[in-house]
C-alpha cells in the first residue's frame, strides 16, 4: 500500500489525553492509533478497572489519575465523560492546559457543553471544538471500544464564532482519520434535532422496558417476546448515567418532544378506546410511509 500525500495524512498528534475512556473516548483513541497518527495516549477516568482494561487492550499507553496533571503537555484533549461531568472536567483542566493544546468533546448535547466551556476554559475556549460523533451503541466502557466504530459514521462539529480555524482543522482531520464523515451544525439546531431523533427514542425505549419490568410477571413477559420488542428496546441497554445526563442537559428541547410524543400516543389511545380504526390506521400508515421514505433516503 502506498502512502498518499493528502492533507489529512500529514496530521500528527504527539500526546492525546482522553478523559473518560468509554465506548466513544476509547474508540477515538483506538481509531487514531490504528491510523498511526498519534504518538502517545494518556487515559484519565474514574474507574481503575476500566482504565486497566484500556491499557491492556493497547487503547491507551498510560493512566494518569488526575486530569489537571494529565493535560500539562497535551496536544489534543478529548473529553469523553457523560455530559453531566463536563463542567467539572473543564474546571479541573483549564489551569493546566498548555497554550497550544486543542480540546474537543464527544457529548450528545452541545448548548450546555459550550456554555460550560465559555465559562470555564478562559482563553482556551478559542481552541475548544465542540463535537458529536453519531455512533452510539448499547454497549459501554473501554471493553466495547474499537478502532472501527466511526467508519462511515457522521461527526458533527459545532465551532463557535471565536473558535480558531487551526483547532477546527485539527479536530476535523482527526475524525476523518477515524473514517468518519465530518459536518457542521449550529448548537441550538443540533440540540433540537437530537432531542427528536436520539434523546426522545432513548426515553421511549427505557420507559417501555421499565413499564414492563415493573410487573411481577416481567420475566414471563420477556420470555415470549419476539424480535420486534428486542429491536425496539435495544437502546435501553445504553449507559443509564450517560443518558440521564443527556436528558437533563437537553431538558428544554426534550420536554417539547416528549409532549409531542405524548399527544400522539393519546390520539392513538383514544382511537383504540373508541374503536376508531380510521384514525388509528392513519397514524400507523403515516409512520410506515415516513419510515419507508427515510430508509430510501438513507440508502441513496
Find the Cα–Cα–Cα–Cα dihedral 111, 257, 107, 188, rounded to 10°.
-30
Of positions 84, 110, 143, 216, contacts a copy of itself by CB under 8 A: 84
Measure the CA–CA gap between 52 and 97, rounded to whole angstroms. Answer: 25
Of positions 5, 123, 228, 299, contacts a copy of itself by CB under 8 A: 228
289: left (phi over 0), alpha (psi -120 to 50) or beta: alpha
Of positions 102, 114, 135, 174, contacts a copy of itself by CB under 8 A: 135
List of residues 6+ apart from 94 with CB closer than 8 A: 120, 121, 122, 124
Measure the CA–CA gap between 26 and 140, rounded to whole angstroms. Answer: 10
285 touches a copy of itself by CB under 8 A:
yes
Q: How far is the CB of 51 from a copy of itself (least distance, A)?
A: 22
Q: How far is the CB of 190 from a copy of itself (least distance, A)?
A: 9
List of residues 6+ apart from 87 with CB closer than 8 A: 116, 120
Measure the CA–CA gap between 73 and 60, rounded to whole angstroms. Answer: 16
244 touches a copy of itself by CB under 8 A:
yes
Q: Which of 39, 29, 11, 18 is nearest to 170 (CA)?
A: 11
CA distances from residue 245 to 23, 25, 213 in whole angstroms, order as listed: 16, 17, 23
Q: Is 59 or 205 the residue whose CB approaches a copy of itself more closely?
A: 205
Q: Is 30 or 233 the residue whose CB approaches a copy of itself more closely?
A: 233
Of positions 2, 216, 219, 299, contacts a copy of itself by CB under 8 A: 219
148 touches a copy of itself by CB under 8 A:
no
Of positions 12, 100, 184, 215, contacts a copy of itself by CB under 8 A: 215
88 touches a copy of itself by CB under 8 A:
no
Q: Taking CB under 8 A as the criterion, which residues in 150-169 touch a copy of itself?
A: 153-154, 156
List of residues 6+ apart from 139 with CB closer than 8 A: 23, 237
Among 8-16, 87-95, 149-157, 174-182, the segment contacting a copy of itself (CB under 8 A) = 149-157
Among 19-27, 33-41, 71-79, 199-207, the segment contacting a copy of itself (CB under 8 A) = 199-207
Q: Is 58 or 281 the residue whose CB approaches a copy of itself more closely?
A: 281
203 touches a copy of itself by CB under 8 A:
yes
218 touches a copy of itself by CB under 8 A:
yes
Amino acid at each position: 500500500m502506498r502512502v498518499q500525500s493528502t492533507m489529512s495524512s500529514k496530521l500528527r498528534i504527539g500526546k492525546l489525553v482522553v478523559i473518560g475512556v468509554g465506548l466513544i473516548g476509547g474508540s477515538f483513541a483506538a481509531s487514531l492509533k490504528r491510523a498511526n497518527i498519534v504518538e502517545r495516549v494518556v487515559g484519565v477516568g474514574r474507574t481503575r478497572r476500566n482504565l486497566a482494561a484500556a491499557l491492556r487492550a493497547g487503547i491507551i499507553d498510560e493512566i494518569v489519575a488526575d486530569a489537571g496533571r494529565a493535560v500539562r503537555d497535551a496536544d489534543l484533549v478529548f473529553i469523553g465523560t457523560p455530559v453531566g461531568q463536563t463542567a467539572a472536567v473543564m474546571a479541573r483542566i483549564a489551569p493546566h492546559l498548555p497554550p497550544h493544546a486543542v480540546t474537543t468533546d464527544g457529548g450528545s448535547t452541545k448548548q450546555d457543553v459550550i456554555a460550560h466551556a465559555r465559562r470555564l476554559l478562559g482563553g482556551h475556549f478559542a481552541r475548544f471544538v465542540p463535537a458529536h460523533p453519531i455512533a452510539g451503541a448499547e454497549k459501554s466502557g473501554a471493553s466495547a471500544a474499537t478502532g472501527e466504530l466511526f467508519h462511515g459514521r457522521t461527526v458533527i462539529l459545532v465551532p463557535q464564532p471565536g473558535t480558531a480555524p487551526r483547532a477546527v482543522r485539527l479536530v476535523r482531520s482527526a475524525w476523518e482519520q477515524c473514517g468518519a464523515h465530518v459536518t457542521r451544525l449550529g448548537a441550538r439546531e443540533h440540540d433540537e434535532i437530537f432531542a427528536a431523533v436520539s434523546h426522545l427514542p432513548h426515553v421511549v425505549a427505557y420507559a417501555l422496558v421499565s413499564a414492563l419490568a415493573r410487573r411481577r410477571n416481567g420475566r414471563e413477559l420477556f420470555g415470549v417476546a419476539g424480535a420486534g420488542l428486542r429491536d425496539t428496546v435495544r437502546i435501553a441497554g445504553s449507559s443509564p448515567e450517560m443518558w440521564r445526563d443527556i436528558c437533563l442537559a437537553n431538558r428544554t428541547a426534550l420536554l417539547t418532544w416528549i409532549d409531542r410524543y405524548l399527544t400522539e400516543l393519546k390520539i392513538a389511545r383514544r382511537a383504540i378506546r373508541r374503536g376508531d380504526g380510521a384514525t388509528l390506521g392513519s397514524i400507523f400508515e403515516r409512520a410506515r410511509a415516513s419510515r419507508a421514505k427515510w430508509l430510501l433516503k438513507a440508502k441513496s
